[in-house]
Structure 1
Amino acid sequence: MSHSLAEQQVSARSVISDYIALSKPGIVGLTLVAALTGIYFGNHGIMPHWHLIGWTFLTLGLATAGSCMLNNHYDRDIDQLMKRTSNRALAAGAVSANRVLIVSLLLTIPSLALMAWVVNPLTAIVTSVGVVGYVGVYTMWMKRRTPWANQFGGIAGAVPPMVGYAAVTNELGAAAWILFAIMVVWQQPHALALALKYREDYARANVPVIPVACGVQATKLRILLYTIALVPVAMMPWLFDISGSIYLAASVVLSAIFLFMAVRFYRSDRDCDMRVFAFSIVYLILLFGIMIFDSI
C-alpha cells in the first residue's frame, strides 16, 4: 500500500515537473526582468508600491507561461522530429496534449482578465498583443511557412518592457518604445545564433529558419548586420536622456564586444558559434541593469 502511494507521489511530481518545463521558466524569468526595466523607467526611476509589481509579475508570468505551453502544444509534432526537443513532455507523450491545452488556456486567458482588473486595461492589451504575436502569428502562422518568422517573433518578444511601462503609467511613452526597439533588434542575432546551432534539426522538421532557407553564410551576415544596427539603437536611452554617461560608456563597450564577436564569427570558417548566443544574453542583462543603475 505504502509502495503504491510512493509511486503515485513520484508520478505526480514528475507530471508537475513536466508542466513546469513546458511553461519555459527561463523565458518567463527573462520576461519579468525586461518588464521590471519598463516598470522602473515608467515610474521615473522609483520603484512603485510592491503590490503593483507583484500583480504585474503574477499576471504577466502566468500569461507568458501559458503562451509557452501553447507554443509547445502546437509544435509537438515537429518537436518529435528534432533531437533538441524530442524529449519534451508533449513530444515524448509523457503528458496529455488535451490537458496541456486546457492548462495553458487557463493560465493565459484568466491572467489577462485579472491584469486588466488589478493593473490596468492598457497593460492587458499590450500583453495580449504579445501573446497573439507569439502564439498566433509566430508559432501557428509564420514559423513553418517563412524564414521571416523570427523577425515577427522578435516583435512579440520585445513587448515585456512595454508591459512594465504601461503598468505604472497607463500609457506608452518614449522610454517604452526605446526599450522595445532595443529588444527587437537584439533578438535577431540572439535567435539566429541559436538557429545555426540547430539548423539540421530545423531542416529535419521542415522549418524554414534562415540557416535552412538561406544558408549558413547568409545567416552569419545577418547576425553581423543586426549587431551593427544594435550599436546606435542601444545608445538611444542616452540620446533621449533616459540614462546618463555611465550607461553610454557601458553601451559602447558592450556593443563593441558584441560587434567584435560577430565580426570574428563572420570571418571564421565556423558554422555556428554559441559564444555569440551566450554573450547576447549577458549583453542584454548588463545593458538593462546598468541602465537602471545609471538612473538611480
Structure 2
Amino acid sequence: MERGGGNIGAKKRGGVGEKKELFHVVHKIPVGDSPYVRAKHLQLVEKDPEAAIVWFWKAINAGDRVDSALKDMAVVMKQQDRAEEAIEAIVSFRHLCSKNAQESLDNLLIDLYKKCGRIEEQIELLKHKLKMIYLGEAFNGKATKTARSHGKKFQVSVKQETSRVLGNLGWAYMQQNNYVAAEIVYRKAQTIEPDANKACNLGLCLMKQGRPDEARQMLRDVALRKFSGSDDYKAVSRAEELLQEIELRPGGSPVELEFSIGEEIMGRLDVLINEWTPFQSKRLPIFEEISSFRDQIAC
C-alpha cells in the first residue's frame, strides 16, 4: 500500500511539472526566474509592455541573455511608439551582444529608421548589408538562414535576401524622390529575382522620369502576370491603376537634378566595386554583373 501511495505521489508531482513545462511551451517563455524570464512573462503573459521594458533593461544590465533581451526590448519599444528610444538602445548596447546577433540587430534598426523617417541612416545601413552579402559575410557565412514570420519558420537564401535588401533600398531612394537611383537598384533586384511589387515600383520610377513607354511595358507585364507574385491581387491592381495614370498623363520630362544625382550614385557604385576588388575570391555569383549597372541603364 505504501509503495502504491508513493507512485501516486510521484505521478502527481510529475503532472504538476508537466503542466508547468507545457505553460512555458505554449507561451514561449524560457524556464527560470531570471530578469529576462520575468521580462518575457510580463510581455507575453501579463501583457504589460512598460513593465517588460523595465525588466529587459535589468536583464541587459545583469548580462542575462543580452542578445535576446536587447532585441526583444527594441521590438516592444517599437510597438509602444518609442522607436527613437529603441534606436538609441541598440546603438548604445549592441557592443554587448554576440557577433551572431549583429545581423538581426541591423534588420531591427532598418525597420526603426524607416518608422522614424530617418531615410539617410536607413540607406547607409542597407548599403552596409549589401556589402556584407557581397563579401560573403551575411548569414554569418552560411548559405541560408532561418527566418520567422507570423509564427512560422522558413529558410531564406542569400539570393532572396539580396533581392529583399535591394527592394528596401530602392524604396528608401523613392522616399527621397531620387527616382534615378531607385531605378538602378530596382533593375538590379529584378535581375536577381523578378518580382511584381518591385516591378510596379520600377514602373513608377520610370513614370516620374518622364518615360511613359518604358513604364507602360513594365506595368503591363505585371498585369499579364509575367512576374512572380503577380497572382497577388494588390500588385496587379496597383499596376492597372498606374497604367490608367499613364494614359491620363502620358507626357512629362525628367528632372535634370535627378539625373545628376543618378550619375553620382553610379560613381559611388564604381568606387565600391573597386573597394571590393581585393575580396573577389569571396564574392558571390549573384554580384558578378554588378559592374554592368551603367550598361543596363544606358540600354
What TM-score, normalized to structure 2?
0.27
Higher relative CO (Cα under 8 Å, sequence separation at least 6) belongs to 1
Q: Which has the larger radius of gyration?
A: 2
Q: Per residue, is there more strand in 1 or in 2?
A: 2
